[in-house]
Amino acid sequence: MSLVIDKKLFATLDQLNDKQKREVLVFAGHFLAEDERGNNKWEDDNFVSEMGSRYNHYKNGGQMITTTEADKRIKQILETGRK
């Protein structure tokens, strides 16, 4: 299974522009940090299923947001929660 995933991952990365590739690196960095703490989300079936759904949504033309927009939304949520 890993070889299939690797092939799909590399094929997808080849289609991204530089900005998108930087965003993927940031995203992947979070997984590496989790692994260092002993948390491997990829062993969680619910997480893997959710990531698969999101990937399929993206591949089928679904709307995505940038990291800037995500940060903005997170900030708004956190500010609302402090009030």
pLDDT, tens digit, for every residue of 3-51?
888 888 888 888 989 888 888 888 888 777 766 666 677 788 888 999 8
pLDDT, tens digit, for every residue of 52-68?
998 899 889 988 888 89
- Output 17 or 81, whichever has higher pLDDT: 17
Q: Do residues 46 and 38 lie in contact, with contact meaning Cβ atoms separated by under 8 Å?
A: no
Residue 83 has pLDDT above 80, yes or no: no
Which pLDDT score, from 0 to 100, does residue 53 have? 92
Helix (H) and strand (E) counts for the chain? 4, 0
Q: Do residues 67 and 26 lie in contact, with contact meaning Cβ atoms separated by under 8 Å?
A: yes
> Which range of residues forms the domain containing residue 54?
2-82
Considering its fold, how many domains does the chain have in total?
Answer: 1
In degrees, rounded to 5, the angle at the alpha carbon of residue 57 between the alpha carbons of residues 51 and 63 is 115
Which pLDDT score, from 0 to 100, does residue 72 have? 92
